[in-house]
Each structure stands twice: as structure tokens, then as C-alpha cells.
């Protein structure tokens, strides 16, 4: 679900969040009850919206939940704010109180687009003064809505489309400025225990598709065929590739197998350039050279998967970091979209995965939180290139950063 736009539904208990989810999806996916606090953990539902396409609706716990367990539910709901591409804030009875205003401040703090829904308008219609306060003070949209009057659904979807804007998971082109029509691109795609059976990993598929869209030629091979390929084009005067893109783990090996003047980069580095704050991530890679014994390094993966002895984030990258720095480092792994329980300031470096399974906004939100803590942040591909001694060559195709 992570690669689809995420829409969070927020508000107090019994504001009608679950009912709104059911109206939007056209299914009874969220439990509706008059008992406050029925929704505990966030509930997710995929639906199709014209324009944005598939989106994920997230039903959150009431922000006025009480007790120790209630506080944990509220904390979980607040974490969702950092993950969503759009927030819908529900309130009822023309009452815009502290909870709602605090949520609005959170939306602004995390730069999340939002609008308000005055729910249960079949009981109490929206007051003109409240409407003017919302549109004037908060500069956002407000909809008077009733889950019992489903003809309102069209107006609600229109506001979602308007505030969601362009596709939140649309990236800048991966090969922008690097590949033109009729160019040849070599993609080095190893098949190891981490590769999905019978499939390529998502970044490889994305780049193949973009090469095709650019009317260029993709040559896909494993590293074992790379020397033969360059031998053949040298002797047979074949077309020289404009770029070699490799799995980051093979940087050092691939560099030795290709001509020294052959442009080279990695899948994960292209993702960093397309999805993240590339200058910040590049600067963060330099922090690897400053690591000391006992420093904590946080590796953040955006998806969960079964790990193996060849796992890049849990096994290979920590080993590369220790081998390159010669330091005794404490490497910790965090999978999923949540931030760590330990304060970010406890880490000397944070390394984010390529982020192929999450939206650009979600990648940027994670980078922003680490930057706010004053901690260097980079990504897997840049970190690996640094440890393999090929960082400068891997970013050279991009020109001046």
C-alpha cells in the first residue's frame, strides 16, 4: 500500500471518521459504533479515485482518546500525520476546539495538505462564522457533510482531488538529463537470494520502463556477462552505452570491469536523485568518513521483508561500514514508516533505503525529521558507493550537484 497516496482521516472520537471511510469506499470496511474509541489502531482501505488512481484511506483513532492506552492510540495517530499525503479533519456541531487546532498546527508543521469536513450536517448545519474562520484564518477548504446523505460524496471527492494535487508518488524522471532517444543503457541486475523469484526488483523495472519511454535501448544483464559485453562492442565496433547502472552492492566489482571513462551510477543513487533531497543525502555520505568507535548508525527501510544472510540493510551494509571505517559501530535497523523510539540525536548517521515502495513526500518527511535533529542522513546507494571508493564516479554523470 505504501507506494499509493495516503489519505488520513483525523478528528475526535465519534466525529464520524469510520462512517466517512465507509461512504468513500462504498463498503463497510470500518466498524461504526456510538461507543467512543471504537477505532483503536489505524485501519487502511484502498479505493480508486478518478485522477490520482488508487489511494489508501487511513481511519485513525480519536485524538481526544483518554487513559494510558488512549495516549498510545493518539501517539500512533500523530505518527500517521508524517506518512500521509493529505489529511481530512472532521469536526461536528460547529465546535472547533483545542484538539482540532492542535491537529491543524501538526499538519502545517509537517507540511501536509489538509481540509476540514463539518460532519453530521443532517443534525447541525455549518455556521457561517465558523466557515469564514476556517477559510480566512486557516486558508483551507471546508465542506458541510453528512454520511447519511451520500449525494455529498461527489463534493468530498472533488476536494480530495483538489488538495491531493498531482500524483504524490510521481517522481522526477530517474534518467532526466542522462538518456536520450536511441541511446543505449546497460543495467547490471544481479540475481541473488534477495531477488524476488522470477521477478526484478522495483527500481530495475522502473528504469527499464523509463528507458523504453525515452525510445532508448536497455541492455539488461548480470555482472558475469558484463566483461563479455564490453569486449564484444569494442571488437565489433558496437554502440557504446551512455550509462551503466548497477546494483549498488556491485559498485566496486563493476567499476573494475568497465572502461575508466564509462559513465557509471547505481539504481539507488538514481532513486535518491529523483525522490529525495539529493544534496543533503550526498553531504550525509561524507559523514561516513567521520564515524568513530561506538557511534550508532540507524538504517531505515521503508518496507518489511523476510531477511536472509545476504540482507543488504541488516548484514551487508553494516559490514561494509565497519570494514571501510575500521571502527566498531553500533548499527540498528528500523523497518516500516515509523520513526525510532530512541531520540534521533543519539545517532551519528542515518541511512535511508532507496524508498522505492513509498512516495516522494514520505521520503522527504523522513529526511526532514533527521535534518531537524541535526543528524547527517544519506541513502543506501550513496553509502555503499562511499564504502567502495566510487562515490565521485557514481555521481559524475549528474554534472554539478
Q: What residue has cell string 575508466? A: 260
Higher pLDDT, 111 or 219: 219
pLDDT band of 142, cuts 50, 70, 90? very high
- E-strand ranges in 120-169 read 142-144
The per-residue pLDDT for 1 is: 41
* Domains, the chain: 6-164 (3.40.50.300), 184-269 (3.40.50.11420), 277-387 (3.40.50.11410)
Q: Is 12 exposed, middle or buried (0-12, 13-18, 19+ CB in 10 A)?
A: buried
DSSP per-residue letters across 157-220? HHHHHHHH-S-TTPPPPTTTTT--TT-EEEEE----TTSPTTS--HHHHHHHHHHHHTT-EEEE
pLDDT reading at 38 higher than 60: no
The per-residue pLDDT for 39 is: 44
The per-residue pLDDT for 79 is: 80
Question: What mean pLDDT do residues 370-389 have?
Answer: 95
Secondary element (H or E) of residue 264: strand 264-266
pLDDT reading at 368 higher than 50: yes
Q: Is 144 exposed, middle or buried (0-12, 13-18, 19+ CB in 10 A)?
A: middle
**Per residue in 250-269, pLDDT tens?**
999 999 999 999 999 999 99
Q: With beta carbons less than 8 A apart as the criterion, state whether 251 and 338 touch.
A: no
**Per residue in 265-289, pLDDT tens?**
999 999 999 887 899 999 999 999 9
**Per residue in 307-366, pLDDT tens?**
554 678 889 999 999 999 999 999 999 987 778 889 999 999 999 998 877 777 778 888
The four Cα atoms 14, 16, 19, 25 give a dihedral, to 10 degrees, of -130
pLDDT reading at 173 higher than 80: yes
pLDDT band of 80, cuts 50, 70, 90? confident
The per-residue pLDDT for 110 is: 85
The per-residue pLDDT for 344 is: 95
Pick from 338, 325, 340: nearest CA to 375 = 340
pLDDT reading at 73 higher than 70: no
Provide the angle, in degrees to the nearest 10, between the axes of the packed helices 267-275 and 360-372: 80
Q: Is 27 exposed, middle or buried (0-12, 13-18, 19+ CB in 10 A)?
A: exposed
Amino acid at each position: 500500500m505504501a507506494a499509493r497516496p495516503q489519505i488520513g482521516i483525523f478528528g475526535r472520537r465519534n466525529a464520524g471518521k469510520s462512517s466517512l471511510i465507509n461512504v468513500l469506499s462504498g463498503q463497510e470496511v470500518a466498524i461504526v459504533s456510538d461507543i467512543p474509541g471504537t477505532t483503536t489502531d489505524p485501519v487502511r482501505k484502498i479505493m480508486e479515485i478518478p485522477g490520482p488512481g488508487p489511494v489508501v484511506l487511513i481511519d485513525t483513532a480519536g485524538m481526544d482518546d483518554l487513559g494510558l492506552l488512549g495516549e498510545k492510540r493518539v501517539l500512533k495517530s500523530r505518527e500517521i500525520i508524517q506518512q500521509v499525503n493529505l489529511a481530512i479533519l472532521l469536526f461536528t456541531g460547529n465546535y472547533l476546539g483545542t484538539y482540532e487546532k492542535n491537529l491543524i498546527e501538526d499538519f502545517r508543521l509537517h507540511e501536509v495538505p489538509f481540509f476540514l469536513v463539518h460532519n453530521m450536517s443532517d443534525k447541525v448545519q455549518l455556521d457561517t462564522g465558523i466557515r469564514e474562520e476556517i477559510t480566512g484564518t486557516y486558508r483551507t477548504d471546508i465542506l458541510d457533510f453528512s454520511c447519511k446523505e451520500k449525494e455529498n460524496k461527489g463534493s468530498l471527492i472533488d476536494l480530495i482531488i483538489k488538495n491531493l494535487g498531482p500524483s504524490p508518488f510521481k517522481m522526477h524522471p530517474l534518467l532526466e538529463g542522462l538518456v536520450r532517444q536511441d541511446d543505449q543503457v546497460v543495467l547490471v541486475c544481479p540475481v541473488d537470494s534477495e531477488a524476488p523469484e522470477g521477478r526484478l526488483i522495483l527500481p530495475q523495472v522502473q528504469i527499464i520502463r523509463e528507458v523504453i519511454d525515452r525510445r532508448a535501448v536497455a541492455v539488461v544483464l548480470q555482472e558475469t556477462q558484463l566483461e563479455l559485453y564490453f569486449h564484444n562492442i569494442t571488437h565489433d565496433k558496437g554502440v557504446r552505452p551512455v550509462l551503466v547502472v548497477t546494483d549498488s552492492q556491485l559498485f566496486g566489482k563493476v567499476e573494475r570491469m568497465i572502461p575508466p571513462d564509462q559513465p557509471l551510477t547505481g539504481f539507488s543513487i538514481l532513486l535518491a536523485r529523483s525522490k529525495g533531497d539529493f544534496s543533503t543525502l550526498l553531504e550525509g555520505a561524507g559523514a561516513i568518513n567521520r564515524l568513530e568507535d561506538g557511534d550508532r548508525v540507524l538504517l531505515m527501510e521503508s518496507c518489511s521483508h523476510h531477511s536472509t544472510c545476504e540482507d543488504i540493510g541488516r548484514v551487508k551494509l553494516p559490514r561494509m561500514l565497519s570494514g571501510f571505517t575500521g571502527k566498531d559501530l553500533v548499527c540498528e535497523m528500523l523497518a516500516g514508516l515509523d520513526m525510532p523510539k530512541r531520540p534521533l540525536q543519539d545517532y551519528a548517521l542515518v541511512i535511508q533505503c532507496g524508498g522505492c515502495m513509498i512516495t516522494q513526500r514520505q521520503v522527504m518527511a523522513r529526511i526532514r525529521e533527521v535534518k531537524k535533529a541535526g543528524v547527517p542522513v544519506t541513502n543506501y546507494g550513496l553509502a555503499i558507493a562511499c564504502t567502495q571508493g566510487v562515490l565521485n564516479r557514481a555521481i559524475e554523470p549528474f554534472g554539478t550537484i
